[in-house]
């Protein structure tokens, strides 16, 4: 079992609530208020989990500036009041930011009994292999 500090536990809760509010806001036809709350909680939770300094170092690396600008720009656009455009920008920025983690995620999911067998089906495996290969470092 991984031991977490109190601030990391708070961060996990904030991140979880942020993801919930983002999902719920998209389900309810891109509700501006829910998406804004979800964005704020997600970013705050991430900074609680990994710390403020590491959060800034992660987002503001030189090779990730394009991804960071799309992600944080999408958050700003949602806060301004254009939720659909903001969510599209956020999703694009999210995939650019975290594409280095996808091989790890795919490898982890392939070890889960039911999900691993689904990912190894012939017509799904080709797409998962393409998503799981990455040339960039995290």
- b/e burial code for range 122-132 (CB count within 10 A of at least 16 → b): eeeeeebeeeb
Examine residue 107 and state whether it is found in any structural domain, yes or no.
no
Report the pLDDT value the prediction gives residue 1, as an integer from 0 to 100. 66
pLDDT digits over 99-111, tens only? 888 888 888 888 8
State the residue range of the domain holding 83. 6-99
Find tokens 């920008």 and name the residue: 89
User: Any alpha helices (H) in 51-132, and if so which ranges?
Assistant: 52-59, 65-80, 83-98, 102-110, 113-119, 122-132
pLDDT in tens, 12-58: 999 999 999 999 999 999 999 999 999 999 999 999 999 999 999 99
Establish if 137 belongs to a structural domain.
no
What's residue 135's pLDDT?
59
Residue 71 forms part of a structural domain: yes
DSSP state, residue 60:
T
Establish if 116 belongs to a structural domain. no
Mean pLDDT of the chain: 90
What's the pLDDT at 109? Answer: 85
pTM of the model as a whole: 0.79
How far apart are the two ends of the chain, measured CA to CA in Å? 24
Asked whether residue 50 is domain-assigned, the answer is yes
Q: Is 118 within the bounds of a domain?
A: no
Assess whether pLDDT exceeds 80 at residue 136: no
Tell me if 46 is assigned to some domain.
Answer: yes
CA pair distance 88, 74, nearest whole angstrom: 7
Q: Tell me the per-residue pLDDT of 57-79, one tens digit each, with 9 for 90 and over.
A: 999 999 999 999 999 999 999 99
Q: Which of 106, 100, 133 is nearest to 118 (CA)?
A: 106
> Domains in the chain: how many in total?
1
pLDDT, tens digit (0-9, with 9 covering 90-100), for 79-95? 999 999 999 999 999 99
Q: Residue 137 above 60 pLDDT?
A: no
């Amino acid at each position: 079992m991984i031991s977490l500090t109190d601030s990391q536990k708070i961060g996990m809760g904030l991140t979880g609530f942020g993801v919930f509010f983002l999902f719920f806001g998209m389900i309810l036809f891109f509700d501006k208020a829910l998406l804004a709350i979800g964005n704020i909680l997600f970013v705050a939770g991430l900074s609680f989990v990994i710390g403020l300094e590491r959060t800034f170092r992660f987002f503001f690396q030189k090779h990730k500036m394009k991804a960071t600008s799309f992600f944080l720009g999408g958050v700003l656009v949602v806060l301004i009041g254009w939720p659909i455009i903001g969510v599209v920008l956020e999703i694009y920025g999210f995939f650019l930011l975290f594409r280095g983690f996808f091989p790890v995620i795919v490898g982890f999911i392939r070890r889960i009994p039911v999900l691993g067998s689904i990912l190894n089906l012939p017509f799904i495996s080709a797409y998962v292999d393409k998503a799981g290969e990455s040339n960039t470092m995290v």
